[in-house]
Amino acid sequence: MSNREPGFETLAIHAGAQPDPATGARVTPIYQTTAFVFDDVDHAASLFGLQAFGNVYTRITNPTTAVLEERVAALEGGTAALATASGHGAQMLVFHALMQPGDEFVAGRKLYGGSINQFGHSFKHFGWNVKWADGLKPADFEKQITEKTKAIFIESLANPGGVIMDINGIAEVARKHHIPLIVDNTMATPYLCRPIEHGADIVVHSLTKFMGGHGNSMGGAIVDGGTFDWAKDDRFPVLTQPRPEYADMVLYETFGNFAFAIACRVMGLRDLGPSISPFNAFQILTGIETLPLRMQRHCDNGLAVAKFLDSHDKVEWVSYAGLEDDPYYELQQKYMPKGAGSVFSFGVKGGYDAGVKLVSSLEIFSHLANLGDTRSLVIHPSSTTHRQLDKEQQAAAGAGPDVVRLSIGIENVDDLIADLDQALNNT
């Protein structure tokens, strides 16, 4: 195997992991400890000075977490990764490394409602300002770029509408203006799409969703693509200017194509602290081992359910890129040929009241604010995840009053279709 590049399925099981050297345990152990003993004073000094890699404190590094980070980086094709407590934690650390007070970034409006809230409200406390790209075309993003712009942010497969973004086209805009493209790949996972191969510089994940896959553990990840030239100018001082807390070390000069991941760890995670627990890292690692099997089943079930809904007389419309008449079908074939995922939305006839009644009538589907579980899930975004937005913002985010979002699990698809049928006939 030394001369062969491992396949995705092999990486999902083996990347980053070796039998435990102390016990021979084949599965990565849970290193449930807060801190680690130093060899001697010089060893401790080299770790604190970033002159050697190793474990100091679980808030910053941990052996269980390190395996998860290596695995996610390998699956995404990145140079390094950093695991965090949640997807929101990952996003905060990314922008903490990129932004100064008064800086801006451009984000597509087709985003998870929590991200819209984080960007539009919470980030303002840091002096970070978002400018929204109202459309989906690369030109819509370019219109919002100013001298203060430090990044573009999109989702590869947008939540909740299942819209597939033109990653390569938007990446060309980012390169033209020398700003990094950040892609949230939560909904697609690297099984369906590897954004770095299409021009992304940074990938983020909520590992809570499909990567972990079982709805039992929170986690997030940042993947450094190693593709961005941070030294081209001084717009990103965290990476290109001497760091006084590390004896004036310049992170990009020292760490090269994984300097961004290092910056997020030693400048962000160290001080802001959204660390993943070793137990959650272990749970998510276990989930990733079956990611290829689960994602293909999710996609197959998702397509079957979308086709059923598309023909139902109680359904006004279905937004699923796997349907041949969907406006994003060609982008799905380009970026995600294995499938269009299993999270999508549809419009139930009768609007808001019908949507609320539908989710209350389902029996197999669980009504909750999550996605990417083995179980099928349903939510009415305008009354829950996107409730904090006004009607205009809800519509722009694809979460209007008639919208119902499904996350199709890996159950028997005929059972799922029967459950939806009886609930729709009840509206």
Looking at the DSSP assignment, which residues form a beta bridge with residue 348? 315
170/188 Cα distance (integer angstroms): 17
What pLDDT is attached to residue 393? 78
Checking if the pLDDT of 395 tops 80, the result is no
335 and 263 in one domain?
Answer: no
* Mean pLDDT within 56-71: 97
What is the domain count for the chain? 2
359 and 273 in one domain?
Answer: no
401 and 314 in one domain?
Answer: yes
Q: Note whether residue 1 is domain-resident.
A: no
Give the CA count within 13 Å in the CB-facing half-sphere of 300. 11
224/53 Cα distance (integer angstroms): 18
Task: Tell me the H-state helices in 211-350.
Answer: 237-240, 251-255, 259-263, 270-272, 278-288, 291-310, 329-335
What pLDDT is attached to residue 2? 66
What pLDDT is attached to residue 114? 87
263 and 323 in one domain?
Answer: no
235 and 154 in one domain?
Answer: yes
CATH, residue 317: 3.90.1150.10
159 and 42 in one domain?
Answer: yes
Residue 377: strand, helix, or coil: strand
Instruction: Flag the least confident range among 7-16, 173-182, 377-386, 400-409.
Output: 377-386
304 and 272 in one domain?
Answer: no
Look at residues 232, 258, 287 and tell me which one is the last residue of a structural domain.
287
Q: Note whether residue 2 is domain-resident.
A: no
308 and 204 in one domain?
Answer: no
Q: Are the C-beta atoms of 233 and 120 separated by less than 8 Å?
A: no
Instruction: Print the domain residue range for 306.
Output: 291-424
203 and 145 in one domain?
Answer: yes
Residue 397 pLDDT level (bands cut at 50, 70, 90): low
For 27-55, how does the pLDDT look when each residue is reduced to its tens digit (9 = 90+)?
Answer: 999 999 999 999 999 999 999 999 999 99
Looking at the DSSP assignment, which residues form a beta bridge with residue 105? 130
For 181-225, how does the pLDDT look when each residue is reduced to its tens digit (9 = 90+)?
Answer: 999 999 999 999 999 999 999 999 999 999 999 999 999 999 999
Residue 134 pLDDT level (bands cut at 50, 70, 90): confident
61 and 34 in one domain?
Answer: yes
CATH, residue 21: 3.40.640.10
Q: Note whether residue 178 is domain-resident.
A: yes
Q: Is the dihedral of CA 320, 161, 280, 19 positive or negative?
A: positive
271/192 Cα distance (integer angstroms): 34
What pLDDT is attached to residue 159? 80
For 286-335, how does the pLDDT look when each residue is reduced to its tens digit (9 = 90+)?
Answer: 999 999 999 999 999 999 999 999 999 999 999 999 999 999 999 999 99
417 and 329 in one domain?
Answer: yes
* Mean pLDDT within 169-173: 98
For 90-111, how does the pLDDT look when each residue is reduced to its tens digit (9 = 90+)?
Answer: 999 999 999 999 999 999 988 8
Checking if the pLDDT of 364 tops 70, the result is yes
DSSP state of 35: B
60 and 184 in one domain?
Answer: yes
